[in-house]
A and B are shown apart, each in its own frame.
Chain A
Amino acid sequence: MTGSPAAQHQLDLVPDALLAGRAADGDTAAFEALARRHGPLMRATARRLTGSLADADDVVQETLVQAWKQLDNLRDPAAVKGWLLRIVGSRSIDYLRKRRNHADLDDAENLVDHHARPRPEDPENNALSSSRVEALKAALAGLPEEQRRCWVLKEFNDQSYEEIALTLNISADSVRGRLARARVTLARRMEEWR
């Protein structure tokens, strides 16, 4: 296997499609390069969906295991990023379902987000935009769970209504409705805040 530092550096420069093709051929170094490249995005979306960093890492790991097994089924290797994010989405939702069976629904992460207060008095533009992001985090944490999932799967994982419907096991119409309600609530909160 190509494991030398030079080869690894080289793999960091080549496009997704090429890495996905190699990985499907069994090249673990290419697969790891893909994992490193899209890992932060996978971790970020899993964290928003599950609400915890520890769960997010478990989700990323499960996603990579599944991806390695199913790479042969990936029809368009150039679309590997979206494909990975779809797996992250469904693994995250599975994770939440499993966790629900363990009774404790409140997660520390969301509580922290609730306490993130918007700071409208920030004078600097930079700080202003970052405090708007904090305000959005807080507003997001206040959404009903089902709406929040729809919103994250749409805006973070970039999934279509049909894909979200499949992931959440609801109809595409319900996705459309929940997403709209999530957006309306969030937009209102953000305008009030402004």
Chain B
Amino acid sequence: MNTPRDTLDCGHSLAELSAYLDTGQIADPAHMDSCPECQAGLASLRNLSALGKDLLRSDVTDAGSGNDDWMQSILDNLQLELRPGRSIPLQSDHPDDTLWETEGSISALIRSVVDALPGTAAGKCRLHGDVTTPGAGITVEVEIAVVYGHSMEERAGQLRQELAQTLATHTELAIEAINITVTDVLEAPATPTTPSTMEEQP
């Protein structure tokens, strides 16, 4: 497989050195450490790898920003299908009517409550329990990220209250518990130039 040019005078191949670069493994590490030829070969491969990273950076710069038109037109073409999740039955005044809302609309509602609280963003959100049976006990699990500097317990307590209120107003779910997990503490934006809900004036 190797052409003579690929084998160093010390008998080792550049293919071995190339694999060593990726895996950190080589048959004869003691030799490699002391062999000037192997060291020169490695140095040359490392230079190439560094240059490859320069090329990648240059290509990424050339690709433009994700906020540019090219990305917008890709996003416009996507037409993402919605993920409705389970169907949640609603009471109706007429027995002949069947009304329901989707699990997806409930998680969107939960996210909007969390996001509206300054310095807080929602992550994953789950409804545990049989939402398809009216009156079944439901536990809500929400992951959140909080900007550094906010008291997490206070934040979680306030959120729990607001979520309970919103869910009671907008849904017929029998919420038994709302569990909030802080998964990330975010750095506050250094020099915010645009108004953002992530910053909170004292």
Contacts and interface: CB of A to CB of B under 8 A. Distances in A.
B18 interface: yes
A77 B145 CA distance: 15
B163 to A, nearest CB: 15
Nearest to A24: B124
Interface string A4-48: 001101110111011001101111100110011111110111011
A191 B184 CA distance: 46
A120 to B, nearest CB: 15
Contacts of A132: 51, 54
Interface in B53-69: 53-56, 58-67
Contacts of A22: 111, 122-125
Chain A interface mostly helix, strand, loop or mixed? helix
Interface in B1-44: 1, 5-6, 13-15, 18-19, 22, 44
Interface in B97-150: 104, 107-108, 111-112, 115, 121-125, 143, 145
Contact of B183 (A11, A18, A38, A177): A18
A2 B115 contact: yes
Most buried by A among B6, B49, B121, B198: B121
B124 A21 contact: yes
Interface stretch (B152-160, B169-177, B189-197): B189-197
B184 A155 contact: no
Contacts of B6: 180-181, 184
A40 B48 contact: no
Contacts of B196: 6, 9-10, 13
Contacts of B145: 14-15, 18
A26 B85 contact: yes
Interface residues of B, number: 64
Interface in A22-76: 22, 24-28, 31-32, 35-41, 43-45, 47-48, 57, 60-61, 64-65, 68-69
Nearest to B52: A155
A130 interface: yes
A17 B184 CA distance: 9
Contact of B52 (A40, A43, A136): A136
Contacts of A17: 123, 183-184
A187 interface: yes
Contact of B64 (A9, A11, A40, A129): A40
B186 A13 contact: yes
Nearest to B197: A6
A57 B19 contact: no
B60 A41 contact: yes
Q: Which 6 A-B pairs have the closest CB atoms?
A: A36-B66, A26-B83, A21-B124, A180-B15, A44-B59, A180-B18
7 contacts: A21-B143, A25-B124, A44-B60, A155-B49, A180-B14, A183-B48, A190-B47
Interface of B: 1, 5-6, 13-15, 18-19, 22, 44-45, 47-49, 51-56, 58-67, 70-71, 74-75, 77-78, 80-85, 104, 107-108, 111-112, 115, 121-125, 143, 145, 183-184, 186, 189, 194-198
